[in-house]
Amino acid sequence: MMGIKKTIILALFLLLFGCSQKDAAPWWLLTSLKSVGNLPQIEPTNTSITYTGNGPASITYSMTIDGKDVTGDAQFSLSKPEAGSFTGSELTISGSTAGPLRVIGTVNGRSVETGLTVFIDSVELFPGAPPNSMDLFENATGSGEQSITVVYPQDQTMIPNNVSGLDVHWKDSQTEQLFEATVSNEFVRIRKYLTQASGQNSWFILDADSTRLLTQSGKQINIVIKGLSGMTINRSAQTKVIATGSEWSGRVFADSYSQSQTSVLSRDLATNETSFTTFYSDATSGGRCIGCHAVSQDSNRLAFTYDQGIGNGGLLNATTMTVLPENPARKWTYASFSPDGSRLVTAFNGILTLRNFSDGSSVADLPTEALATQPAFSRDGKYIAFVTRSSGNDIAFTDGTIKLAEFDSGNGTLSNAITLVVGNGNNFDPSFSPDGKWLLFTRISDNTSNYASLKSELWVVKTDGSSSPIRLNNANLKPMTSNSSADWSPTAFLGPDGERIYWILFTSRRDFGVRLENAQKPQIWATAFFPVLAEAGLDPSTPAFWLNGQQTSNLNLQPSWQ
């Protein structure tokens, strides 16, 4: 603005002193003067629009130059094309995104922008809810108790932007039979009305599109449940869910057991897959029970055991879906792949063995100076962590100690082993962070057997041994929830404030809200991990959420993430 004012003042000065042709103003000044009056204008400016889904939400724009309407010659576009589309100068909102955006108008090669804020206000009536449900709540005159408790998700749970749906569960201590569930942020409000017989628990699933709408338009999602009792509204406290602002990715694998089948399931987190699919099962293994899987980093190779970890080892080439013929001399309980997938380390009867993937043949036994189990390669292949035990067997033991050794891929040997975690209970399930700086593990503080224990908890320790282990309090939730078998996301992601985070998947037998209550059924859960907090010796985890896409009727456990 100051530049334009100076140009105008200079022009007036030249006019007052009567410039001759010889002393005419330079071309750049004349051009500047001409452009001042030719700036296009767009209307309306900095406005908002609300999309409800009940018919189209549209707004018409116009453009002028020097007061002359040039709308017919203008082209209009959006900074977020997915937010809507123009037919001429009329914008129709799609309802697929919300929040602030820019409207751009262009005419004669010159563009001007203005702000537009899109709000979305969605209402859904579940079967049985009266058509006037919204009016009943708006007209209620009494304010009752905080008698409703949101039991899932937990307050301050953190989720990635592309999580494929969000469950909302609550309990009610009163006798409400009509509920208003509101899930909202600064730009989006989703209200659902549903009935429930008195004394019963309630829940619903927010679909993937609605969840993404919330995560992409704001970092804090608020959940409030209201219940109508006569003309009085009872309510819950507000539950806050935090969106990281970034999407996660990678393929997840998990063992799954149903009444009719044992399987290794998989799901791609970066795509629109909303459920796990069968990767390999007893139906394709000749009816043999399979489990204790390990997956190569490229997801093209699978190692597993027959007969729930006590039988022969199996190897699957996932690109051709061919299985190496079973060999009674080839046995293991646990396995871990080298980074390129050409080799794997297996455990059987306390001995670690380096094997070729191509035929499962033994390259060499790896000396560990004690009975060893649960080997785990670092992602760069330079280290192997493993558990040593003094009693029990590979699967069920006490006095677990976690050791870490350098691995020489050239000659296939271990060296410079250090004891990383010892004492304070039974320690097992080692897993390296992608950068190799942290090791997740499971601990049972009273040193009871690790097999299917309800007392297991998640811990983390620095791989250089420079600090004491840290308990993941937020992820563990509370005692007797059986948290174990954790694995890291293959890469780092961005947190809500742009910081580096990892995601962790683990097995837990905790309640899943009201859908799995007092069932002690293992399911896959996810928590965020903040390295900066761990470096400070603080709990680096967040309250965990149930990984969507599982069948709650199945036992789902031992996740691996590639």
pLDDT, tens digit (0-9, with 9 covering 90-100), for 30-50: 333 334 457 899 999 999 999
Task: Let me know the angle formed at the C-alpha of 370 by 364 and 374, rounded to the nearest 5 degrees.
Answer: 70
CB-based contact 336:558 (threshold 8 Å): no
- How many separate helices (H) and strands (E) can be counted in the chain? 6, 45
What pLDDT does residue 290 have?
Answer: 80
Rounded-to-integer distance, Cα 339 and Cα 224, Å = 46
Strands 470-471 and 484-488: unpaired
What integer pLDDT is reported at residue 17 of this predicted model?
A: 39
Cα(283)–Cα(250) distance, integer angstroms: 26
Burial class (CB in 10 A: 0-12, 13-18, 19+), 351: middle
Distance of alpha carbon 76 from alpha carbon 97, whole angstroms: 18
Tens of each residue's pLDDT in the chain, 562 residues = 444 344 434 443 333 334 444 344 343 333 333 344 578 999 999 999 999 988 889 999 999 999 999 999 999 999 999 999 999 999 999 999 999 999 999 998 999 999 999 999 999 999 999 999 999 999 998 777 788 999 999 999 999 999 999 999 999 877 777 999 999 999 999 999 999 765 567 999 999 999 999 999 888 999 999 999 888 899 999 999 999 999 999 999 999 999 888 999 999 999 878 899 999 987 676 667 787 899 999 999 999 998 766 679 999 999 999 999 988 889 999 999 999 999 999 999 999 999 999 999 999 999 998 999 999 999 999 999 999 999 999 999 999 999 999 999 888 899 999 999 999 999 999 999 999 999 999 999 999 998 879 999 999 999 999 999 999 999 999 999 999 999 999 999 999 999 999 999 999 999 999 999 999 999 999 999 999 999 999 999 999 999 999 999 999 999 999 9
Which of 507, 460, 491 has its CA nearest to residue 291? 507
Count of alpha carbons within 13 angstroms of residue 408, beta-carbon side: 10
Q: Which amino acid is at 519?
A: A
Interior/surface letters 428-451, b for 16+ CB within 10 angstroms, e for the rest: bbbbbbbbeebbbbbbbeebebbe
The 10s digit of each residue's pLDDT in 179-228 is 999 999 999 999 999 997 655 679 999 999 999 999 998 889 999 999 99
Phi, psi angle pair for 559, to nearest 5° = -70, 145
Q: Give the residues across from 484 on adjacent strands.
A: 507
3-class secondary-structure state, position 31: helix
Phi, psi of 83 (to 5 degrees): -75, -20
Taking residue 517's Cβ as centre, other Cβ atoms within 10 Å add up to 12
Strands (E), 318-434: 322-323, 334-337, 343-348, 351-356, 362-366, 371-377, 383-389, 401-408, 413-421, 426-432
What per-residue confidence (pLDDT) applies to 260? 85
Q: What is the pTM of this model?
A: 0.90
Per-residue pLDDT, 197: 64
Helix (H) or strand (E) holding 536: none
What structural domains does the chain harbor?
A: 41-120 (2.60.40.1080), 126-243 (2.60.40.10), 251-561 (2.120.10.30)
